[in-house]
Structure formats: structure tokens, C-alpha cells
A and B are shown apart, each in its own frame.
Chain A
Amino acid sequence: MAVVARRNPLMTVGKYAAILFYLTFALFPLYWLLKISITPDQLIFTEGTALWPTDATLENFGKVIWQTDFLRFFWNSLIVSLASAAITTVIAAGAGYAFSRFRFRGQKLVIALMLLTQMFPLLMIIAPIYKIVAMLGLLNSLSSLVLVYTAFNIPFATFLMQSFFDGIPKDLEDAAMMDGCTRFQALRKVILPLTLPGLGATLGFIFTAAWSEVLFALMLIRSEDSMTFPVGMLTFVSKFSVDWGQMMAAGVLALIPSCLFFIFIQRYLVQGLTSGAVKG
């Protein structure tokens, strides 16, 4: 739970200074994103270093929303990200539980294989992945992205969940199983609720990983109907110009769903173990 700090004025000042620092640090480039998005094209380069454009305009946002397919791209991204987050978390919870609770032959091998998948540059194996996805008949569909994102993120999510399961004593489900539950029921009813911070962190993490992913979205999706928004943003970068205004506007708009998602899962991040569950 929360650390109880002594009411020390120095600590409080330090704390608020830290809050200010982190806020500035996180917001500054985002502020710049926003600034460019409201600058009209002619002024973007001449007023590059200014803190606020002399002639702020919302026309870039207007163009992005009304004149491009961005709303559809956002929708696609949302579907893919939510699906990937949910499916990955479920599968990873299972795998993480297995690592945490069991000692079995081949455990080390499985961990090694999971780690290996994270260590190779994906661009080098895109072609075989492309072929496999094509064989499954999923090319050019959002499902292909969900499939690939889930596969790539399972290792990390598994290790995360394993960590959280490790923090919960085995006695709890042993007790539940002695009372007549199967292990699975014990997992579902007793253990999982206690790992809500872990689930929240995993969901949040996978969502954003899927939300901002570009490589597979670019390679596996052909048609505009199924495009996700990061690829949509790439179209603002043409051979002869970067449409900074619109690109930044799209970037700003893209932050809104992420922000909302984070606010949503915070409820779960904040909940923690209380002594009652452990002892009683």
C-alpha cells in the first residue's frame, strides 16, 4: 500500500518538485506536438521555435477528422488493441500461473524459447510471418494483427503475471482446493482477484504496445478499410514533404483513447493486497 511519509515540509516540497518535474518532462514534447498541430502550414517553419503560433488554427484537426479516413483508422486500432490486450492477458495469466505454481520438465526450455522470440529483429522475419499469416487466410484482416501482437507480447505478459502470482502464497489456493474447488476454480475465484494490479498493468501495457505498433500494421494490411492509425500517420510523410500539421493533429487525437484507457485501468492498478486476504 501507500508509503506513509512523515509530514516533513522538506519532503513535501521535494515531492511536489518531483511531480512538477515529471509532468514537465512528459508533457513537453507532447506540448510541442500540440503546438505544431495548431500552426498553419505557412508558419510551421518560420515560427518553428516559437512557443505558441501567432495564428493558431484548428484546420489541421478539421482536415484529419473530416477529410481523411482517420476516424475509421482509430476505430480499427481500438478494436485491435482491445482484443490483443484482452486475449494476451488471459493467455499470459494461464502461462504465468503455470510458471509460478508448477515445477515441470521442460520449464526452462519454454522460458528460453519465449525469451528468444524477443531477441531477433522482427523486420528480418517478417517475410516468413507474412507467409504463415497468408496460409491462415488472415492476410489483410485485423485478426492478423491481433494474432501477431498477441504472439509477440505473450512472453513479457507471462513474466509479468508470473511475478504477481509469485507474490501470492500457494496456501491460498491449497486452502480453496481442500474446500472442494478444482485448481481452476481456485485460480478464478480466489487468486485472480488478488492479482488485479498485475492484470491492470498487463492490459495497459499490451494495449499501448498494440496501439502504437507500426511494422506489422504496415506489412500485413493492404486495404484502407483495415488500416490502423499509425500507418495512416505514415501517409503524411511523402517523398517531398511531411505534412507536419496534420500528422501532429492525428497524433494528438490518438492520445485521447490511450489517456482514457489508462484512466480506466487505474482503478485496478491502485488496488492492492490487504493484510486481511493474506492472513485470514
Chain B
Amino acid sequence: MTQATTAPGATRAHQRFVWAHLIEPWLYLTPALVLIGLVMLIPLVVGVSYSFQAIMLLKPGQAEWVGFDNYLALWSDKKFWISLENTLVWTFGSLFFQFTLGLGLALLLNTHFPLKRLFQAIVFLPWAVPTFLTALTWAWLFNPVIGPLPHWLAAVGILPEPFNILGDPDLAIWGPIAANIWFGVPFFAITLLAALQSIPSELYEAAEIDGASAWQSFTKITLPFLAPMIAITVMLRTIWIANFADLIFIMTGGGPANSTQILSTYIFTTAFKKLDFGYASTLAVALLFLLFVYAVVLLALRRRFVRV
């Protein structure tokens, strides 16, 4: 844009303001908004509206509005609270290991070693396997009848004898968590690696000249630069994991005795087995609300502690 001419500066500046703040950003945003609005948001509104209705899956014509009745039922639903607790274990159990292993892998890939390209392509593969196949494979691996893991775990002493942890109410959740870790490490590895690549190398060089140790470089240079990316990826991955029912559904079916029942599988059962679509939508909205609060908190923390 050329400098303002001798025309009334106020009008020209105003035009630029309008352009810069009210129009131009939206031009860049419009394609995204149109798509999301049409394909995701409208159905989402419909989905949320179900939570205020008593609606059976195969009888949509007989739906009736019940206001907040479903939400009141939620409060006294024991299974809801059990599922919520399991969801927390599932989500943060998976997240912690995925993140730390993913970060480690990203740091590793940020160095040089022979055949790195091949190595990189291989370690990213778990993310490319369809999740139901991952679930079936891991269920196979944990089954002492046909898989090796219980025998190895027993040989190493972690298990007293080879049995299927998926059948033990105290241990069952770790089966899907293991599969989820295997699946999710590449996600963090790719995103954190790409962020690592953007850190200017002269910062490390300067630090080395100043005599900083590897650990100090890591905590004072790497982490702060990674922080924005960490915040986003952790937030989004948490949201996805909380909603991620496939692995649990296939590996344990929510059992034994509801020990691996997370909100997501509970929603599925309520909707498609009990056919109570209204209440299932209520559960989904409850989950939505919790995740939204979590996201808001995380974003607030990010703004506070991260200087972009």
C-alpha cells in the first residue's frame, strides 16, 4: 500500500483501519469458516439440541422436548461418574507417556545419524495405521493364547504369570493405553520436530560459547521456544483422546465390569444399545463442557507463561 496522498488523512487512515481490522482478516478466514460452519457447526447444534429432547434412536418422529430433565438425570447417574473417572485415567495416562516419548523422539530426530530418513519414516508409521487395526493387533499381542506380551511380561517379572491384562479389572485400562501410546507418539514427534526445526541455531551456538550445559540449553532455549506448540498439541490431543473410543471398545468393550468404561464408550452404548439418543447427547454435551473448560484454562495459562 502506498503512502497516504494529500487526500484527507483521516478518511484514508479510517479506510485502512476498516480494511486491516474488519475486512482483510475475514478474507483469509472465510473458506475455513464456511466449511466448518456448514459441515461441523450446524450438525453440532443439532446434536446439542438432542440433549434437550427425549428421543429414541429409531423413532425420531416421537421425540419430545424435555428441557433440562436429561441433565438432572446426569447428576445422579453412577455410571456417569465412574466413566468420568476412567476418562481422566485414560486421557492423562495416555497423554503423559505419549508426550514424553514423543518429545524424546523429536529431540532425537533433531540430531544427525546415518539412515535418519528411513528411521524417521518408520517411527511415524504407527500414526498411519487405522485405529481399529491397531486395536485388533494389540488385543492379539496381549492375549496369552496367541500373543507374546504376557509371556514376556511374566518372564521379566512384571506379571506373576502370563495372563491377559485385558481381563483384569485393575489392569485392563493399561492395554488400550499402551496401544494409544504407540499410536500417538508420532503425533507429538512430528509437530514438536517441526517446531524444533524453527529454532535458530545460533542461539545454541551462543549458549555453547557461554558454557551452558546441554540441560541448560534445553530448559532455557528449547522449551520456551517449544512452549506454544506444546500448549496446542497437548490441548488438542487431550480433547481427541477423551473422545477416542475405538481402542477401548475393541480391546475391552468397556469391561470387565465397567473398569474401562470411559465417557465416550458410555455415550456410544447409551445411543446405540439403549437407543436413548437424548440422554447420550446429554452425556456428550457434559463431556463437551468439561473439555471446553479445560481448553480455556490451558489457553489462559499459555497466554500467561508464554511470550510469543
Contact = CB atoms under 8 A, between A and B. Distances in A.
- A complexed with B: yes
Contacts of A29: 126, 134, 137-138, 141, 182
B44 A208 contact: no
Contacts of A208: 124, 127-128
Contact of B36 (A2, A11, A36, A117): A117
Interface string B147-175: 11001000000000000000000000000
Interface in B173-192: 182, 185-187, 190-191
B198 A119 contact: no
Nearest to A113: B41
B190 A204 contact: yes
Interface string A92-104: 1011011001111
Nearest to B296: A112
A74 interface: no
Interface stretch (B64-72, B75-83, B101-109): B101-109
A102 B108 contact: no
Contacts of A259: 121-122, 125, 128
B36 A33 contact: no
Contacts of B44: 116-117, 120, 125
Contacts of B31: 91, 94-95
Contacts of B140: 32, 36, 48
How big is chain A's contact interface, by range? Answer: 35 or more
Nearest to B151: A49
Interface stretch (B5-13, B88-96, B280-288): B280-288
A110 interface: yes
Contacts, number: 305
A120 B242 CA distance: 10
Interface in B2-43: 20-22, 24-26, 28-29, 31-33, 35-36, 38-43
B275 interface: no
A212 B191 contact: no
A71 B200 CA distance: 44
A75 interface: no
B155 to A, nearest CB: 12
How big is chain B's contact interface, by range? Answer: 35 or more
B30 to A, nearest CB: 8
B46 interface: yes
Contacts of B112: 2
A166 interface: yes
A4 B122 contact: no
A102 B132 contact: no
Contact of B1 (A5, A177, A272): A177
Nearest to A49: B148
A134 interface: no
B145 A151 contact: no
A58 interface: no
A1 B182 contact: no
B130 interface: yes
B152 to A, nearest CB: 10
A163 interface: yes
Contacts of A62: none
A163 B199 CA distance: 13
B219 interface: no
Interface in A1-45: 1-6, 11, 15-16, 18-19, 22-23, 25-27, 29-30, 32-33, 36, 44-45
A8 to B, nearest CB: 9
Contacts of A5: 111, 214
Interface string B194-225: 11011111101100100000100100001001
Given A102-B21, A110-B29, A119-B288, A197 B198 contact: yes
Which residue among B31, B32, B232, B288 has the maximum number of chain A CB atoms within 10 Å of its CB? Answer: B32
B76 to A, nearest CB: 22
11 contacts: A1-B197, A98-B26, A110-B33, A113-B41, A116-B288, A159-B232, A248-B137, A254-B128, A254-B129, A254-B130, A278-B200
Given A155-B36, A163-B228, 15 more contacts: A3-B110, A3-B204, A4-B204, A49-B146, A95-B31, A98-B29, A102-B24, A116-B288, A119-B243, A123-B272, A128-B47, A147-B35, A200-B194, A258-B128, A272-B199
The 9 residue pairs across chains A and B that have the minimum distance between CB atoms: A48-B146, A1-B201, A258-B128, A128-B43, A151-B39, A201-B194, A272-B197, A98-B28, A102-B25
